[in-house]
């Protein structure tokens, strides 16, 4: 056990001692790397703690209770990808703890969401399916929920492929915004253009890399985790050229590289999935980008 893992175990023990005197806290579990069987925690990992409580708002807004867990350095609230608020905390030594408080009724809601494949429930199910450590469960609902998730054959979020309409929507979105980035570069809005190239276009490229990998039968994890291992090796190698410095000419260069990589990966994925591809729209968009680039000195 490395020093980071020992630090998190000490935080968990302090949480136990605190929770024993909090009647509103009904259950808690560790998810993520500290509970995973595959790719377990290393010295750079954090601690993801789900707390089932009848007073989730109080747990989220009050920060005094966090001092029971360690020497508090930084804390803030954000919305996680599953759509729930979570409190992120940094304790002494750089120990990073993400705390998600859930009302007991939320467990039933998540259970129903998994059955209907709702996005936020599927996201959490993907995490839980890779490993969970229940710390305590006074009412039994959390154990029941976890058992239902772990009995699923494969986490849904790791295997789903798009239908043709979803695929075409993403492809058209990409080529539309490739032209959009070029227009803003011509206008001189470097910040806006770079954000489009390295933000929106990269998000679409990531989705396409996910579909390419899933179509080939590879586990894509979630939100880009371990992309360097599951994405196509050639694409991983080419990704380095698709990001830009804050420089007008370099954003043009990165835009071209992003377009080339997306074109290759999306065409290959369309072929593998048996989908049509908007070739004429892609060619027209690509020509517009090149025309705007050629006239940039006007």
pLDDT band at residue 222 under the 50/70/90 scheme: confident
Mean pLDDT, range 227-247, rounded to an integer:
97
Three-state secondary structure readout of the chain? CCHHHHHHHHHHHHHHHHHCCCCCEEEEEEEHHHCCCCCCCCCCCCEEEEEEECCHHHHHHCCHHHHHCCCEEEEEEEECCCCCEEEEEEECCCEEEEEEEECHHHHHHHHHHHHHCCHHHHHHHHHHHCCEEEEEECCCHHHHHHHHHHCCCCCHHHCCCCCHHHHHHHHHHHHHHHHHHHHHHHHCCHHHHHHHHHHHHHHHHHHHHHHHHHHCCCCCCCCCCCHHHHCCHHHHHHHHHHCCCCCHHHHHHHHHHHHHHHHHHHHHHHHHHCCCCCHHHHHHHHHHHHHHHHCCCC
- Residue 120 scores a pLDDT above 70: no
pLDDT for res 154: 47
Please give the model's pTM, rounded to 2 decimal places: 0.81
User: Are the CB atoms for 213 and 230 separated by under 8 Å?
Assistant: yes
pLDDT band at residue 65 under the 50/70/90 scheme: very high
Q: How many CB atoms lie within 10 A of CB 34?
A: 21
Least confident of 214-223, 238-247, 261-270: 214-223
**Mean per-residue pLDDT of the chain:** 90
Q: Which domains does the chain have, with CATH numbers?
A: 3-158 (3.30.460.10), 164-294 (1.20.120.330)
């Amino acid at each position: 056990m490395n020093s980071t893992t020992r630090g998190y175990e000490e935080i968990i023990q302090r949480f136990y001692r605190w929770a024993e005197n909090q009647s509103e806290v009904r259950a808690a579990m560790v998810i993520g790397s500290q509970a995973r069987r595959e790719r377990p925690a290393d010295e750079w990992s954090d601690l993801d703690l789900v707390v089932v409580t009848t007073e989730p708002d109080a747990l989220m807004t009050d920060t005094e209770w966090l001092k029971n867990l360690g020497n508090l350095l930084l804390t803030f609230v954000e919305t996680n990808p599953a759509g729930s608020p979570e409190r992120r905390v940094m304790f002494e030594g750089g120990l990073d703890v993400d705390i998600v408080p859930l009302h007991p009724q939320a467990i039933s809601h998540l259970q129903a969401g998994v059955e209907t494949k709702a996005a936020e429930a599927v996201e959490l199910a993907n995490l839980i399916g890779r490993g969970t450590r229940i710390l305590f469960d006074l009412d039994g609902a959390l154990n029941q929920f976890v058992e239902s998730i772990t009995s699923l054959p494969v986490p849904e979020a790791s295997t789903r492929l798009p239908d043709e309409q979803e695929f075409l929507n993403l492809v058209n979105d990409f080529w539309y915004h490739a032209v959009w980035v070029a227009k803003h570069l011509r206008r001189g809005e470097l910040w806006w253009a770079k954000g489009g190239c390295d933000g929106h276009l990269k998000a679409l490229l990531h989705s396409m890399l996910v579909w390419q990998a899933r179509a080939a039968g590879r586990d894509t994890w979630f939100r880009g985790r371990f992309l360097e291992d599951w994405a196509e090796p050639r694409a991983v190698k080419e990704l380095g050229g698709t990001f830009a410095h804050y420089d007008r000419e370099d954003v043009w260069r990165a835009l071209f590289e992003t377009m080339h990589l997306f074109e290759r990966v999306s065409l290959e994925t369309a072929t593998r999935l048996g989908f049509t591809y908007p070739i004429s729209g892609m060619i027209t968009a690509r020509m517009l980008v090149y025309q705007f680039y050629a006239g940039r000195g006007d």
